[in-house]
Amino acid sequence: MYRRCRVCEGELREFVDLGRQPTANGFLRPEETDGEYFFRLAAGICTDCAMAQLLDEVPQERRYHGGYRYHASGSAGHRKHFEENALRLLETELTGPDPFIVEIGCNDGVMLSTIARAGVRHLGVEPSTNVAELARARGVDVLTEFFDERTAAGIRSRHGAADVVFGANTICHIAHAASLLRGVDALLAPGGVFVFEEPYLGTITERTAFDQIYDEHVFYFSVTSVRAMAERHGFELVDAERIPLHGGEIRYTLARPGARVPSHAVQELLAEERERGLSDPATLGRFRDRVERVRKDLVTLLRDLRAQGKRVVGYGAPGKSTTVTNYCGIGPDLVPFVCDSTPSKQGHLVPGSHLPVLPPEAFSDPYPDYALLFAWNHADEIMAKERAFRQGGGRWILYVPEVRIV
Ligand SMILES: [Zn+2]
């Protein structure tokens, strides 16, 4: 267990404990449940630099491999978001005579495929070989490695300096933060930028989105903690922008000191975090209390519905569903199955809680009385698609920020 901050070696103070948990994307076949891997999922905050992070850590080789099941292109909203990201970078940053962009954790090429189509030099660094293959099939150049300072030095010597280093929902996955930032430093051109968008501690605590906490998310960034981390490694935080992805994230832009004029948004968000007391023990204690409340309410509701003979099924099996089902002790006795459109999850079980994952067709065959929406960050997209379920009398159960039926 970590007692010292991975960024600054300061003291870590625990603020939430979600108990014994498997790896969130470790979907397994019914015959593979013996010897399933578990660890204690608990997060703490650094009393010096305010970086929130996991106390225990799952080795990265256990998280990213040939069977990695998160496909970034799985949702239409995500595809649109990343295409817009790519177009924006092409317009604002990749404008020189022969620009070069590196993406850390390019997944299935959801962002870089647009860059590749524009004919711009690029390289995705992606340790999970199966999703890297999908990216290659979209015309994206991929290096199947973990990103660290050694990988970065190799890229620099082969391809030259990068104008942009980009990451989306991957930078917070990398436990070796110091090596990562030294790598970005080695790779980035003097006027280049390091842009990354990640889950926001402020959203997680404000919305009680505790299911964003799982093994892959080693860090829970805030503007305060990212600025401290940037300065420690010779960078300046020059922009911070709220984006709606995954329920509310922040896109950070780091540059070399003096290379860019910092935006007002950085100071505004820093002031907002101070006012809210985002890193204060009292704020984090209230978050923990609300998390426990959600568990009690959700389990009570599911037991009541079962007692009334109602049928409840799960909708969507994102990594988040592992956290909530294991933390709340929701097994197939309460939710007999969950449907998900990702083919590689179908026929498998949700890690730890062992809810069977069925294809989307199972949802309407016949419709259940209630659907527990695990993929709540796609609620609008899903509810629009499943209008017939609601019109036929079906009801959605949501649990973020609190348990409710809609
Ligand atoms: Zn620290």
Q: How is residue 323 written in tokens?
A: 């956290």
> What is the predicted pLDDT for the residue at 383?
96
At 323, the pLDDT band (50, 70, 90 cuts) reads: very high
How far does residue 259's CA lie from ligand 1's centre (Å)? Answer: 26
At 62, the pLDDT band (50, 70, 90 cuts) reads: confident
How far does residue 14's CA lie from ligand 1's centre (Å)? Answer: 13
How far does residue 77's CA lie from ligand 1's centre (Å)? Answer: 34
How far does residue 221's CA lie from ligand 1's centre (Å)? Answer: 12
Question: 3-state SS of the chain: helix, strand, coil percent to 5?
Answer: 40, 25, 40
How far does residue 34's CA lie from ligand 1's centre (Å)? Answer: 38
Burial class (CB in 10 A: 0-12, 13-18, 19+), 204: buried
Stated pTM of the model: 0.93
- Residue 370: left if φ>0, alpha if ψ -120 to 50, beta else—which one? beta
> What is the predicted pLDDT for the residue at 66?
72
pLDDT average, residue stretch 139-144: 97
How far does residue 102's CA lie from ligand 1's centre (Å)? Answer: 27
How far does residue 377's CA lie from ligand 1's centre (Å)? Answer: 29
How far does residue 234's CA lie from ligand 1's centre (Å)? Answer: 16
How far does residue 7's CA lie from ligand 1's centre (Å)? Answer: 5
Quote the distance between the C-alpha of residue 372 and its chain's center: 20
Residue 1: pLDDT over 90: no
How far does residue 103's CA lie from ligand 1's centre (Å)? Answer: 26
If one compares 355 and 377, the residue with the highest pLDDT of the two is: 355
How far does residue 126's CA lie from ligand 1's centre (Å)? Answer: 27
Do the beta carbons of residue 370 and residue 308 sit within 8 Å?
no
How far does residue 11's CA lie from ligand 1's centre (Å)? Answer: 7
What are 172-191's pLDDT values in tens digits?
A: 999 999 999 999 999 999 99
How far does residue 230's CA lie from ligand 1's centre (Å)? Answer: 12
**Alpha helices, DSSP H, located in 233-336:** 264-276, 281-307, 319-328
CA 271-248-203 angle, 5° bins: 55
Q: How is residue 370 written in tokens?
A: 């209630």
Q: How is residue 218 written in tokens?
A: 């080693």
How far does residue 52's CA lie from ligand 1's centre (Å)? Answer: 8
> What is the predicted pLDDT for the residue at 86?
96
Residue 64: pLDDT over 80: no
How far does residue 202's CA lie from ligand 1's centre (Å)? Answer: 17
How far is the C-alpha of 136 from the C-alpha of 124, rounded, in Å? Answer: 10
How far does residue 177's CA lie from ligand 1's centre (Å)? Answer: 11
The mean of the pLDDT values for the chain is 95
How far does residue 219's CA lie from ligand 1's centre (Å)? Answer: 11
How far does residue 258's CA lie from ligand 1's centre (Å)? Answer: 24
How far does residue 183's CA lie from ligand 1's centre (Å)? Answer: 19
How far is the C-alpha of 69 from the C-alpha of 318, rounded, in Å? Answer: 9
How far does residue 293's CA lie from ligand 1's centre (Å)? Answer: 29
> What is the predicted pLDDT for the residue at 301?
98
- Which DSSP symbol is given to 190? E
> What is the predicted pLDDT for the residue at 28?
94
How far does residue 42's CA lie from ligand 1's centre (Å)? Answer: 17
How far does residue 6's CA lie from ligand 1's centre (Å)? Answer: 7
> What is the predicted pLDDT for the residue at 59?
85
How far does residue 12's CA lie from ligand 1's centre (Å)? Answer: 8
How far does residue 194's CA lie from ligand 1's centre (Å)? Answer: 21
How far does residue 80's CA lie from ligand 1's centre (Å)? Answer: 35
